[in-house]
Amino acid sequence: MSKIRIEIKKEFNKIIIFVYQENELVEFYTENIDKKRLEGNIYLGVVKDVVKGMQSAFIDIGEEKNALIHIKDILPKESNVTGNVNLDIQKYQIQDLLKTGDKILVQIKRDCDDQKGSRVTKDIKLTGNYIILMPYTNFITVSTKIEDTKEKERLINIAKKSLPKEFGAIIRTSSNNIEEGKIKKEITELINIWEMILKRQNEKAPIKLFDNNGLIGKLITDFEPLGLEIYADSNETKEFIINNIDKNVEIKIKQIQNLSKMPRKIWLKCGGFITIDKCEALTAIDVNSGKFTGKCELEDTILKVNLEATKEIAKQMRLRDIGGIIIIDYIDMDKEEDRIKVQQLMEEETKKDRSKVQILGFTKLGLLEITRKHILGR
């Protein structure tokens, strides 16, 4: 993995964050200064309302809005692969598991928005640079992006030797070829954090027991093993990060570009363009030939535009952190072999993405279906 650079600037009431890899902008985020992202935070909450019809409950976690927990996020995971996706909910009743006034230890899995409160879970995870620690779990898994079988076995053995019986772990891609001592040290640090959280369970609820330090904290954790460099646009921004996020992080000052939002239309080098529109249920991406007419046959011209668009779309999905269902309307291709080439290129390009991307294939209408998991759990 190439060296990563994060550049941070304050603009009005926002922190704007640019992530570069080999001097190319690959991710872009904004966060309100007075409303830090909650994802990953751990709370001791109080059950305010149990909704039988929804198999859910509303939890007061001490934030502006009550959080929602579903029965699937209360019950122990049935599988380390599918979780509780295939769980027969009819066997259980939410009112048998939670009562109004109960204290409950939860973690934010999806942040709140203007309409809804946060989504929380009892399935607690503590994320480190190399390991995701999972209390009350008995399995160890390795990132699918680590493909070497011997390396997978080495990492699993390290985790098995280092983890107490009541803990499981997800071994992150960043642990690939990392020395045993560093991984063991991080496991110990994460267990210590968990023990500190448990010691505070008798405090008055609702209360925040662990702060994941918002977006910047998450990015530092994710990228630190890659040789991270951090720059801020001013001493004021630098002090904000040090005081609110991480006192030990090294930050340099430099002038940072003025970019606060992403355009709807992106031009391709060949003269074609793509448009990206976020809808309620999905993101629609359209490919257009634009100014490109080509010098070859029509089918070759169409394929050239579609292939160039594919590389740009894969880049934009990561850059904008597009999640959920993504539908791509390519310029119509008559040949099946051309559609295969486009799909294969998309599969190759999305391997660069640090999020989970599934290429589902072309529909009967010629639309390419993709699903992608948000990096930030929106």
- 4 and 62 inside one domain: no
Give residue 41's pLDDT.
Answer: 94
- 26 and 116 inside one domain: no
CA distance 117 to 59: 10
Residue pair 373/355 in contact (Cβ under 8 Å)? The answer is yes
CA distance 80 to 165: 16
- 58 and 96 inside one domain: yes
Task: Please give the angle made by the CA atoms of 227, 233 and 236, to the nearest 5 degrees.
Answer: 110
CA distance 86 to 269: 45
Task: Please give the angle made by the CA atoms of 376, 259 and 261, to the nearest 5 degrees.
Answer: 55
pLDDT in tens, 156-173: 999 999 999 889 999 999
CA separation, residue 151 to residues 120, 142, 155, 245, 321 (Å): 34, 10, 6, 33, 30
Give residue 245's pLDDT.
Answer: 76
- The count of structural domains within the chain is 3
Domain assignment present for 179 = no
Which residue range forms the structural domain that includes residue 87?
42-123
Listed residues 98, 123, 148: the one ending a domain: 123
- 245 and 290 inside one domain: no
**Given a cut of 80, is residue 262 above it in pLDDT?**
yes
Give residue 1's pLDDT.
Answer: 42
Residue pair 266/309 in contact (Cβ under 8 Å)? The answer is no
- 273 and 365 inside one domain: yes
- 245 and 321 inside one domain: no
Residue in the block written with tokens 């499981």: 168
Torsion, Cα of 316, 318, 323, 328 (10° steps): 40
Q: Say which CATH number the domain at 84 has.
A: 2.40.50.140
Domain assignment present for 343 = yes
Report which residue type is found at 60: D
Contacts of 195 (CB under 8 A, 6+ apart): none
Domain assignment present for 176 = no
Report which residue type is found at 125: K
CA distance 60 to 48: 6
* Both structure tokens of 41: 């935070």
Domain assignment present for 186 = no
Choose between 60 and 22: higher pLDDT: 60
Q: For the chain, how many helices (H) and strands (E)?
A: 7, 21
- 73 and 106 inside one domain: yes
Question: Helix (H, G, I), strand (E, B), or coil: what is residue 306?
Answer: helix
Torsion, Cα of 281, 315, 338, 327 (10° steps): 0
* Both structure tokens of 242: 């040090």
**Given a cut of 70, is residue 303 above it in pLDDT?**
yes
Domain assignment present for 156 = no
Domain assignment present for 200 = no
Domain assignment present for 138 = no
Average pLDDT over residues 352-373: 93
Q: Say which CATH number the domain at 229 has.
A: 3.30.420.40
Where residue 12 falls among pLDDT bands split at 50, 70, 90? confident
Average pLDDT over residues 250-270: 85
Nearest partner of 322 among 257, 278, 286, 367, judged by Cα: 278
- 351 and 292 inside one domain: yes
Nearest partner of 375 among 117, 19, 14, judged by Cα: 19
Listed residues 258, 289, 313: the one ending a domain: 258
Listed residues 123, 155, 177: the one ending a domain: 123
Average pLDDT over residues 268-289: 93
- 54 and 103 inside one domain: yes
- 57 and 28 inside one domain: no
- 254 and 290 inside one domain: no
Domain assignment present for 355 = yes
Where residue 190 falls among pLDDT bands split at 50, 70, 90? very high
Where residue 293 falls among pLDDT bands split at 50, 70, 90? low
- 291 and 252 inside one domain: no
pTM reported for the whole predicted model: 0.82
**Given a cut of 60, is residue 378 above it in pLDDT?**
no
